[in-house]
Structure 1
């Protein structure tokens, strides 16, 4: 039986995920508390617009695709206090509430860290500094796509990739909200139609094409695994793909989809 084995949310885009026992999926399909803050470049502090929706391209802010060293930062977010705490290698870099003064403290700490890292050259390009911390700490809005989704992958796919790389591969590289076990490797790529997770029904959207973010070790920030070429080479994929996007599922005709809670251990049914 396929079932949920891990759940994650990512309060600040690109930074340490929080492993949790439950996730609340909102009526818009996004995960509550997921990507509610983001560090954006100076010339990209306002959203772009796509199909009438706000869109925040990851290439225009701090993300693991271009700044792998931020994976080494340990971040905690307190929803009740709207407080962000950032550490590196046991040293506290910042601990601040999301207000004007706190945003300045967090931006200064993260800027200093990146400028002292091997990613400094990228941050120094025109239009990137000063960084801007955007988001209200409550609204989930900084996903890679304008439309809200939850994301999922199977533990079997990650294990198969690790075997091909001859190295252990951590689920956190793939930034998914939901990890399931008890399903065959790559089976999520073939899903079509409805997916039932616990009491929630989703419908499948596209498989997830991966980027260089997956090369970053989630503990050290080093690019230590050639995930993309392994997916296209060892598994003959046309594009490097792992995982699946999920949209709010089709409700009865007279009832709106209201979202709900997913729990570790929930059963997963497809079709």
Structure 2
């Protein structure tokens, strides 16, 4: 049986995953609090009153800023307080809901990453906007949910001979119980997980962000190159379009329409 193994959201683009036991999503908004914030480079122009999707290169991100993986972060959805840990010690607690709090977060990131921020970084957000990698594709894809088949990760491990931490792929839903790469056959088909109906939307092309080890913050692999070498493409995982409002949970069965 194919079932959900783990669920995650990523409140701030490029920063820590937050594990969930249940995931409530909606057709209109996707997954609440997922990529709701981003840290824009000093050179990035973004108007929260008229938000436009921007390429991920406009933000601090693991593809270029692997030091972000050394930070343990948690954003409290109730209070808006961001807690940042470095080497298991709290180095900052600041409110994303106040100008002073956002300034403190920006100051910390500027000091931590130095010239890589290309000027003063800004913590940005906008009502109804998500900073997903595929936000530039369409409004529907901005709210899509990302999925990883753990069997595909194991196939990559077997081909390369190295351990591949699944969180390198920063997905919302991790599932198991289906053959490696079978998820690619779900495109255009309806997928039901718990009380949510999805439609397979597109394969996920992997970038250099996956080269960063989420446990050590070291850039210790070239996974896009390895996927291409062994499997003839650079994709791992898919995006699902949300068709209705509902809730799924760890352990839920996954069914795919014929």
In structure 1, distance between residues paired with 2:19 and 2:25: 15
How far apart, CA to CA, are the structure 1 residues paired with 2:238 and 2:34?
17
Could you tell me how far apart the structure 2 residues matched to 1:29 and 1:232 are? Answer: 33
Structure 1 equivalent of residue 238 of structure 2: 244
1:50-89 alignment to 2 at 5 Å? 54-89=52-87
Query: Does structure 1 residue 206 correspond to structure 2 residue 199?
Result: no
SS at match of 1:156: helix
Could you tell me whether the CA contact under 8 Å between 1:165 and 1:225 is conserved in 2? no
1:76 counterpart SS class: strand
| Cα distance change of structure 1 residues 165 and 140 upon mapping to structure 2, 3 Å threshold | farther
Aligned equivalents of 1:135, 1:29: Cα separation in 2 = 14
Q: Distance in 2 between matches of 1:34 and 1:203?
A: 19
Structure-2 separation of matches of 1:161 and 1:213: 16
Cross-structure match for 1:144: 133
Task: Give the drift of 1:43.
Answer: 2.9
Residues 47 and 55 of structure 1 are in contact (CA less than 8 Å); yes or no, is this contact kept in structure 2? no
CA distance in 1, matches of 2:36, 2:128: 5
Measured against aligned partners, the alpha-carbon deviations of 1:89-140 in whole angstroms (never above 9, x if no partner) come to 123221011110001111111121112xxxx4x43xxxx211110126x855
- Please identify, of 37-46 and 207-216, the stretch whose mean Cα deviation from structure 2 is larger: 37-46
Aligned match of 1:215: 211
- Cα-Cα RMSD: 1.8
Aligned 8 A contact 2:29 2:128 in 1:
no
Q: Deviations over 1:43-93 (max 9, x none)?
A: 324169xxx973032101101111111111100111111000011112322
Q: CA deviation at 1:236?
A: 2.0
Answer yes or no: is 1:180 the counterpart of 2:170.
no
Contact 2:21 2:250 in 1 (8 A): yes
Alignment of 1:39-54 (within 5 A): 39-46=39-46, 54=52
Q: CA deviation at 1:216?
A: 0.5
Q: Do the aligned partners of 1:32 and 1:139 also contact (CA within 8 Å) in 2?
A: no
TM-score computed with the length of structure 2 as normaliser: 0.91
Q: Would the aligned equivalents of 1:196 and 1:202 in 2 still touch at CA under 8 Å? A: yes
Provide Cα deviations, 1:203-251, integer angstroms capped at 9, x if missing partner: 11110001000000112211112201110001122xx1000111123xx
Contact 1:38 1:134 in 2 (8 A): yes
Q: 1:85 to 1:53 in 2, by over 3 A?
A: closer
Gaps of 5+ in 1: 250-256
Contact 1:205 1:247 in 2 (8 A): yes
C-alpha distance in 2 between matches for 1:211 and 1:157 = 16
Q: Distance in 2 between matches of 1:86 and 1:131?
A: 16
Aligned residue runs from structure 1 range 190-205, under 5 A = 190-192=185-187, 193-205=189-201
Query: What's 2:123 paired with?
Result: 133
- Summarize the Cα distance change of 1:142–1:47 in structure 2 as closer, same or farther, 3 Å threshold: farther
| Structure 2 counterpart of 1:252 | none
Q: Which residue of 2 aligns with 1:101?
A: 100
